[in-house]
Amino acid sequence: MPVARAVSALPRHLAVAYGILIVYACLHPLAGWRPTGLPLLDFLSAPWPKYYRVADIVLNLLGFLPFGFVLAPALPARLGRAGAVIVATLIAAGLSFTMEVTQNFLPNRVSSNIDLGMNIAGGFVGALLGAMWGHGLFDRSGWLHRWRSERIIAGHSGDLGLMLLGLWLLAQLVPDSLLFGSGDLRQMLGLPTPLHFNPERFIQLESMLVATTAVAVGLFARCMMRKASPWPIVLLLLLGIGAKAIATSSFFAPSAALLWLTPGTSRGLLYGLALLAIALLLPRLLQHALAGLTLLTATTLANLLPDNPYLVFGPALQQSGNFLNFHGVTQLTANLWPFLALAYLSAVGLWRGEHLADARDAAGGPTPRL
């Protein structure tokens, strides 16, 4: 009798989270809903368009590839590899078809059979890769689950923390913002800039924003780690910087990859890394509290800083195709991330009794179970 595979809940969580991002990207900006009066399924028989961007074809395929990859290992093991590929592809096709039909009601979106075909192809390729390697990655006997069990706190709180770190990396793909800048409610609410631009003050505030966010993100990652190790945190920050460089080079021009590297950003990185190194030596209780405090400080600074002058007079953001739709997803993620992270820190502190764990460790008593 075959032994049932011990499947982790992480791929299911990732599939749901990524599916929500797909829905937002396909329906961005979620405004101007109205019926067009045209048959909803006319796009299925439309001919190949005269003008079409190769980048849109590639993005439509790549956009659904991760969805298929995490969805295949999230399905019941009794389906087998072939069944998982088929079901995951059908789910991806159903989601894409629903989004394309819904786009009929958005005046700034166009339903496309090419987009549908590329989405299905991306979901199929991702499902194939996920069926081959996903279980080795996500199952309880896989290396990712072993690494997670050794390094990350147990339960849903650990999975949620990892997903929030993934969303933070996604938020760094906003090309027209300062490095690590997030939580800007002015843009969401249409509020004016509270401070007038002053070069010296802007550089100082920019340095403070980058430094406090580096400390906040580093300590946020430390709060979900079982063991103290600086290397995962360093890797996380490097990935964030790399994502920013990719965003500016993709949305502006290849020569603009380091457009975000301003004098204030350079100074902030130096200060932030130095402060983070000191903060990682503090007791867990203080690290937890400092993570929340620096998150609040960085969010406040993001709402105080005037518009980025390096980009206002710099190259123009691409305003067409899937680049703009993807920009809407990353912008929303960047605006909401610090508030989600603060809620997570509060919940983890309550669930895990961080202060009790530190107090009992210091007294030599038993550590509460995670």
DSSP string spanning 127-156? HHHIIIIIHHHHSTTSHHHHHHHHHB-SHH
Sequence-distant (6+) residues with CB within 8 A of 91 are 71, 123
Which of the residues in the chain have pLDDT under 70?
1-8, 51, 55, 140-142, 253, 308-328, 349-370
Looking at residue 365, its pLDDT comes to 44
Q: Render pLDDT for 151-191 as a digit per residue (tens, 0 to 9).
A: 888 777 888 888 899 889 988 888 878 888 888 888 777 77
Q: How many CB atoms lie within 10 A of CB 69?
A: 28
The conformation of residue 318, written as its DSSP 8-state character, comes to: P
Q: How many CB atoms lie within 10 A of CB 265?
A: 24
Q: CA-to-CA distance for 319 and 82, rounded, in angstroms?
A: 40
Give the three-state DSSP class for 255.
helix
Q: CA-to-CA distance for 343 and 346, rounded, in angstroms?
A: 5
Q: How many CB atoms lie within 10 A of CB 238?
A: 10
Looking at residue 276, its pLDDT comes to 96
Q: Render pLDDT for 213-222 as a digit per residue (tens, 0 to 9).
A: 999 999 999 9
Sequence-distant (6+) residues with CB within 8 A of 278 are none
Long-range contacts: 34-38, Cβ < 8 Å, 24+?
A: 34/105, 34/107, 35/104, 35/105, 36/104, 36/105, 36/107, 38/104
Q: How many CB atoms lie within 10 A of CB 231?
A: 7
Q: CA-to-CA distance for 269 and 258, rounded, in angstroms?
A: 14
Q: How many CB atoms lie within 10 A of CB 307?
A: 14
The overall average pLDDT reported for the chain is: 82
Q: How many CB atoms lie within 10 A of CB 52?
A: 12
The pTM score is 0.71
How deeply is 2 buried, as exposed, middle or buried, from its count of CB atoms within 10 A (0-12, 13-18, 19+)? exposed
Copy the structure tokens of residue 232. Answer: 């995962």
The amino acid sitting at 356 is L
Contact 159, 120 (CB under 8 A): no
